[in-house]
Structure formats: C-alpha cells, structure tokens
C-alpha cells in the first residue's frame, strides 16, 4: 500500500488546488453559468482535501478557501457596486469556516466517519437557517438555487423548503466524498502515525450502506418530486403582466430627472398589457415617490377603471423618521384594497420600512392577491405568511441593480414552489418574471445593462391552501439547528464513546 506524501508544502499545495477547484465548481453551478450538476459534486474535492490531503493542522484551510472562492465568484460581482463592508463577506465567511471546521477531521477520524455525512449535512443546513436571521444574508447563495430550472427535481420544496432541498444536494456531495475517501484508503496509507493509530481503512460494508442510503434517499426525492409535479391544481389561469421600464423610476427620481417621459411610457405599457387581456398588472418597487392613496396625480384609479385590470404599484414615501416602502393594489372599481409595507428592508443600503409587519391579502374576482417587495423575496417567511392567509397570486414589485439581474429572479421560483402560489415580479429596469405555482418560468426579461419589457402571460394561480412548508415553515432548518448544537456540545462525548 502506497503512502501519502508527508511533505507538508506539497500536501498544502495539492489541497489548496482541490479546494479552489471545488469553490470554482460551486460558482459555475449558479447563474449566470448554470452548470447545475456541479452543485452535486463541487464539494467532493474540498472534503477529500480536508479529510485526507491537507496536513491535519491545516485541514480546515480547504473548506475556508473553497467557501471564500465560491462566495467571491457568486457574491463578489453582486456587491461590487454597493461597496462598504459587504465586499468582505466572502473573506469573512472563509475565516469563519476555517475556525468552525478545525476539529472536523479529528472528529471524523476518531468516530470512524460514522457521523461524517449526517454531521456535514446538518451543519450546512443549520448555517443556512442561521443566515435567515441575518438582515444582510437571507437565502442568497443557498445551494439549492442552481436547480431553479429543474422543476422535475424541486417540487418537494413544498414539503421540506429550500433548506431541505439543500440538504439533499449536500448529502449527495458528502456521500460521494465518503466513497472517494474509502477508495483512497484502500490504496494509500496515511503517513501520520497519530492518524494511523485512530483511523482504520473505512470498511467496504460501511461504504456500501452509505452508498445505498444516499441512492435510496435521492430516488425517493425524485419520485416524490415527479408525483407532486403531476398532481393537478384545481385553480384557474389568469392573464397577468409585469411592467418593466427602461430605467428605474425611483433612482431616476432621486437624481432629480424629469419623470414625465418615464411615467408616460409606463402608462402606455399598462394600456398595451390591458389590450392583451391582462387582469393583474404589476409596476416596480418605488414607481412613485409619493403616496398614491393621498395623491393620485398619475390617475391610476382612472387607469384601473379604464383597463378593467387590478394594478399593483410600489411606492416610497420619505419621512423624517425613515422610509415607507409600500405596495398597494387598485381594483377595476377604482378602490385601493390595502397597503403592504416592505418586510425586509435593505439595511446595508440604509433602507428602513416604517410600515412593515402587516401582511394583507385581497379577495378579488381573479383570486386572492397579495404583495411582497423586492428583498422580501430573499427570505422564506414573507411569501409564506401571505400564502398562509390564502394568497393564490403574489405581485412582487422590485428595484434591482444590474449585477443581480441574472440571479434574483431565481428566488421567485422557490418562493412559488414552497407555497404553491403564482408570482409576478416587475422590476425597475433589469429582471422581471412570471412564475407558476410549480416554479415554471412562464415569461422572463433579464437585462443586466437595463432595458424595457412588458411581460404578458396566462399563469395558473395557486389553490390558496398552501403547502406543508407554508404551515410548518423552515422546519428542516430548525431541526438542523438542534442537530448542530448536539454535535457542538456532544462531539467530545461521541469521540469518547468511539474510543471506548
């Protein structure tokens, strides 16, 4: 049996190359590259480098480098225009990963890799759950997002949520890594005497059990997903529209530009959509910098009556104490149905939302409507609260920037599948989408450099009964948090038990 080289510099170099390859693979799995199968294997070289190639005292450097490279490749371009401390997030995540994983190799060696897959999957899911509590993180870079076009695979998100989908992805990575480690152990001997004393080659029956377990879970997931995809919804289709102006109204207004031409064109787009039969027409976030309920200077009430459509409009009112970032719906009778205040303001951009915390839904002839606003898409709770009240169709006024145009609409897909609702995202110049309750993208406009679009399409609405995820929330994430605490505080006990 050959021995793995004991040259520390060489092992570090090879380990870093493997870690970098893993980080690059994860980057390429996400939009705009969309090589989604890489998400199923991207972490394998990282784990092999951590568990076998890197010298023991540097083992956590593998995951740190991979995480930093991946998040830099994915989030780096996103936050480059924003600047401030956000550009340091990939490095911060890498440093945290380095310290968090310092004992992972020793733990797995001592316990004979009995907990390798379980601990790895639970830790990943728990960290994604923790990110949902952070106002600067949300679901950005969740490992399930590369699969947003694979509707045959993502339907169980209505039961397990996006975190549950991520657990499947990471389980496949960890099982494959375990099998590869077992293959290495059968051909190479650990040079470190200390590691040889506590780590026997992984037994073939042990590896076969994990291969079978991973295969069965994956097969059951796919069968369940296909069954849910084939399950018909007893709900009608509605013609909807998203009005995307060529430039952002709120940014143009803040620059003091003359808004006349922009508003005239948006009104024309609205008329064009209504002539195609649109019954719900959505305008972007911050389309108005005044409260249309108090000042209808664009005659939107008249527009709704003339077109016979429901208008969902986003607007921002700047007060001395902060922002009111809101959305309202005007019905064809010219009535304002209510006001939704943005639930998740972009705090890193200095945004506030004084009217947050209410989640109205509106019973209308075309179904039960609701609204969320832009960054609310990046969290799982806001759309879920509307679906829990019977929402069948959710309008999403948004105001993105160019570097997230090829990423942000993917979040709409998972919010729709999680709650079995249709969603209409209308953006201020970059990316708009119409998505059905199964996550199918019915129509899409993505212009990283900015551009006008008027999306009009028939979309089936949800039943209004929600899903298990709607009722139980991110329950796999909560269970994973409990599991993470168990491994943090019970890890030594598991090692002691393994030694005995």
Q: 15-46 pLDDT, tens per residue? A: 999 999 999 999 999 999 999 999 999 999 99
Tens digit of pLDDT for each residue in 394-428?
A: 999 999 999 999 999 999 999 999 999 999 999 99
Q: What's the pLDDT score for residue 351?
A: 87
Q: What's the pLDDT score for residue 162?
A: 98
Burial 213-231 (b: 16+ CB within 10 A, else e): ebeeebeebeeebeebbee
Averaged pLDDT for residues 38-55: 96
**C-alpha separations of 25 from 80, 145, 154, 224 in Å:** 21, 14, 21, 28
Cut 0.85: pTM above it = yes
| Distance (Å, whole) CA 434 – CA 29 | 23
Tokens (6 digits) for 438: 């199964």
Q: What's the pLDDT score for residue 196?
A: 52
| Distance (Å, whole) CA 421 – CA 466 | 8
**When comparing pLDDT for 267 and 188, which is higher?**
267
Q: What's the pLDDT score for residue 185?
A: 85
| Distance (Å, whole) CA 163 – CA 480 | 10
* CB of 28 closer than 8 Å to CB of 74: no
Q: What's the pLDDT score for residue 135?
A: 85
| Distance (Å, whole) CA 120 – CA 126 | 10
Q: Which residue has the tokens 């972490």?
A: 43
Tokens (6 digits) for 277: 């039969």
**When comparing pLDDT for 499 and 246, which is higher?**
246
* CB of 352 closer than 8 Å to CB of 320: no
Residue ranges covered by each domain of the chain: 2-231+475-499, 237-462
Secondary structure (DSSP) of 438-452 = T--EEEEEE-TT---
Residues in Cβ contact with 426 at an 8 Å cutoff, skipping those fewer than 6 apart: 242, 243, 244, 282, 283, 284, 312, 395, 396, 397, 398, 432, 455
pLDDT band at residue 438 using 50, 70 and 90 as cut-offs = very high
What is the number of H-type helices and E-type strands within the chain? 18, 14
Closest by CA to 495, choosing from 113, 104, 107, 114, is 107
Listed range (134-138, 214-218, 267-271) with the worst mean pLDDT: 134-138
Assigned architecture for domain 237-462: 4-Layer Sandwich (3.60)
| Distance (Å, whole) CA 402 – CA 390 | 34
Contacts 24+ apart (CB under 8 A), 163-168: 163/125, 163/128, 163/129, 163/474, 163/476, 163/477, 163/480, 164/125, 164/476, 165/414, 166/124, 166/125, 166/128, 166/142, 167/121, 167/124, 167/125, 167/476, 167/480, 168/217, 168/218, 168/221
**When comparing pLDDT for 269 and 7, which is higher?**
269
Closest by CA to 440, choosing from 164, 225, 229, 165, is 229
Cross-strand pairs, 432: 445
């Amino acid at each position: 049996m050959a021995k793995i080289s004991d040259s520390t510099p060489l092992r570090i170099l090879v380990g870093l190359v493997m870690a970098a390859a893993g980080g690059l693979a994860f980057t390429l799995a996400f939009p705009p590259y969309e090589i989604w199968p890489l998400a199923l294997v991207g972490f394998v070289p990282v784990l092999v480098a951590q568990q076998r190639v890197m010298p023991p005292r540097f083992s956590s450097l593998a995951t740190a480098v991979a995480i930093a490279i991946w998040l830099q490749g994915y989030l780096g371009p996103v936050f480059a225009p924003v600047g401030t401390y956000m550009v340091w997030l990939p490095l911060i995540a890498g440093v945290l990963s380095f310290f968090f994983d310092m004992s992972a190799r020793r733990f797995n060696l001592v316990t004979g890799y009995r907990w390798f897959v379980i601990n790895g999957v639970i830790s990943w899911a728990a960290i994604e759950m923790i990110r949902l509590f952070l106002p600067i993180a949300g679901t950005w870079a969740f490992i399930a997002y590369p699969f947003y076009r694979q509707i045959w695979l993502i339907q169980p998100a209505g039961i397990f949520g996006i975190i549950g989908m991520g657990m499947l992805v990471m389980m496949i990575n960890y099982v494959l890594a375990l099998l590869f480690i077992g293959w290495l152990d059968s051909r190479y001997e650990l040079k470190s005497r200390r590691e040889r004393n506590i780590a026997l080659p992984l037994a073939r029956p042990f590896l076969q059990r994990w291969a079978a377990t991973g295969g069965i879970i994956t097969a059951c997931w796919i069968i369940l997903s296909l069954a849910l995809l084939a399950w018909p919804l007893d709900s009608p289709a509605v013609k909807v529209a998203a009005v995307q102006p060529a430039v952002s109204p709120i940014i143009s207004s803040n620059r003091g530009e003359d808004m006349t031409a922009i508003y005239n064109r948006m009104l024309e787009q609205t008329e064009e959509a209504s002539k195609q039969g649109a019954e719900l027409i959505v305008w972007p976030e911050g389309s108005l910098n005044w409260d249309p309920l108090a000042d209808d200077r664009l005659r939107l009430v008249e527009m709704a009556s003339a077109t016979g459509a429901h208008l969902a409009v986003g607007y921002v009112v700047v007060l001395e104490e902060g922002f009111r970032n809101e959305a309202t719906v005007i019905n064809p009778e010219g009535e304002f149905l209510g006001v939704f205040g943005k639930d998740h303001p972009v705090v890193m951009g200095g945004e506030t939302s004084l009217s947050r915390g209410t989640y109205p839904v509106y019973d209308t002839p075309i179904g039960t409507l609701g609204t969320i606003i832009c960054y609310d898409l990046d969290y799982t709770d806001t759309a879920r609260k509307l679906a829990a009240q019977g929402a069948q169709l959710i309008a999403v006024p948004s105001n993105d920037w160019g570097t997230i145009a090829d990423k942000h609409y993917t979040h709409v897909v998972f919010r729709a599948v999680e709650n079995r609702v249709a969603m209409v995202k209308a953006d201020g110049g970059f990316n708009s989408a119409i998505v059905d309750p199964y996550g199918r993208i019915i129509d899409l406009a993505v212009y990283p450099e900015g551009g006008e679009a008027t999306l009009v399409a028939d979309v089936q609405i949800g039943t209004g009964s929600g899903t298990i995820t709607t009722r139980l929330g991110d329950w796999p994430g909560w269970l994973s948090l409990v599991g993470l605490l168990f491994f943090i505080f019970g890890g030594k006990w598991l090692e002691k038990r393994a030694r005995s």
